[in-house]
């Protein structure tokens, strides 16, 4: 009996000794995960910096410039080269890297570096359909950083275009746009570019002919309407027309 008790006692001691050993991989995994997330955050801003430097034609544009940022959808639209449209007045940066969250996180390089008077931000449909709360959090942060860095006293937000490919999501995107309108009314110096009215037909609906042939990519006529509006923000009174080119970054 005594020998059996000693055996159970030894077993209990061994079990308690095993707990920290078994927990060790979890601690290591947590530390590794935390380090990876930190490195990932740093890497995302580094990737943005590399993209911007590769597409910069001049190091810093004039203080009177208009800076236009857009993500995955906007980067697929064939606007004319801004070098031909309004060099030094209109600077366009379009890349899947430029989500609202990343722009806020890397604000010093994505926005403050260029010292714009006007900032125009195009939102992807994913901002309204899957990441609405994160988008509004990022907009709040961008708004605060504008004041901190004393840049972009005018901030224009462009809601997702309700293209024919997104017709089934019309209500959700309209609700998101309504929230954006309400947000701009409370945020100083902000306004909305009503892209869905800009690209509408006589019935007040987005013209499907402007998104030919796939129902989501803006064609030549739509790009011309849009670029004329953007040129207006840059103070260009005589819009330029011509054949759009691939890519919009300058």
For residue 81, give the CATH number of its domain: 3.40.50.1110
Selection from 66-75, 100-109, 217-226 with the highest mean pLDDT: 100-109
In eight-state DSSP terms, residue 94 is E
Q: How far is CA 203 from CA 67, 136, 189, 200, 208, in A?
A: 32, 31, 31, 7, 12
Indicate the average pLDDT of the chain: 78
Are both 36 and 106 inside the same structural domain? no
Per the domain annotation, does 238 fall within a domain?
A: no
Domain contains 250: no
Structure tokens at 216: 């989501």
| DSSP run (H or E) holding 166 | none
Claim to verify: residue 70 and residue 12 sit in the same structural domain: no
Phi/psi of residue 211, nearest 5 degrees: -120, 55
9 and 106 together in one domain: no
Q: What proportion of the chain, given as a percentage, has pLDDT over 70?
A: 70
Contact of 65 with 56, CB cutoff 8 Å: no
The pair of three-digit structure tokens given for residue 58, joined into one six-digit string: 């001049």
Q: How many domains does the chain have?
A: 2
CA distances from 67 to 109, 169, 193 (A): 12, 29, 14
For residues 24 and 146, membership in a common domain is answered with no
- pLDDT, residue 249, reads 53
How high is the pLDDT of residue 85? 56
Under DSSP, the state recorded for 211 is G
**By residue range, what is the domain housing residue 113?**
61-233
Q: What phi and psi, each to the nearest 5 degrees, are found at residue 155?
A: -125, 115
Instruction: Considering only residues 146 and 228, tell me which one the structure prediction assigns the higher pLDDT.
Output: 146
* Entry pTM: 0.76
| Same domain, residue pair 39 and 72 | no
């Amino acid at each position: 009996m005594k020998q059996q008790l000693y055996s159970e006692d030894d077993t209990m001691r061994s079990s308690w000794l095993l707990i920290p050993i078994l927990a060790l991989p979890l601690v290591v995994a947590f530390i590794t995960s935390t380090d990876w997330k930190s490195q990932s955050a740093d890497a995302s801003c580094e990737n943005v910096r590399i993209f911007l430097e590769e597409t910069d034609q001049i190091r810093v544009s004039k203080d009177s410039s208009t800076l236009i940022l857009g993500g995955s959808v906007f980067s697929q639209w064939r606007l004319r080269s801004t070098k031909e449209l309004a060099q030094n007045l209109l600077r366009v940066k379009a890349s899947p890297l430029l989500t609202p969250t990343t722009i806020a996180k890397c604000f010093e390089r994505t926005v403050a570096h260029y010292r714009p008077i006007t900032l125009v931000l195009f939102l992807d449909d994913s901002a309204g359909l899957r990441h609405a709360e994160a988008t509004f959090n990022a907009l709040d942060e961008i708004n605060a950083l504008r004041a901190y860095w004393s840049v972009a006293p005018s901030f224009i937000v462009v809601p997702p275009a309700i293209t024919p490919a997104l017709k089934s999501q019309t209500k959700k995107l309209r609700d998101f746009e309504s929230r954006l309108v309400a947000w701009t009314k409370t945020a100083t110096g902000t306004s909305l570019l009503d892209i869905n009215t800009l690209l509408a037909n006589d019935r007040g609906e987005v013209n499907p002919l402007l998104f030919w042939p796939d129902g989501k990519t803006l064609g030549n006529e739509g790009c011309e309407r849009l670029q004329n509006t953007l040129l207006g923000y840059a103070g260009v009174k005589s819009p330029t027309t011509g054949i759009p080119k691939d890519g919009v970054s300058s």
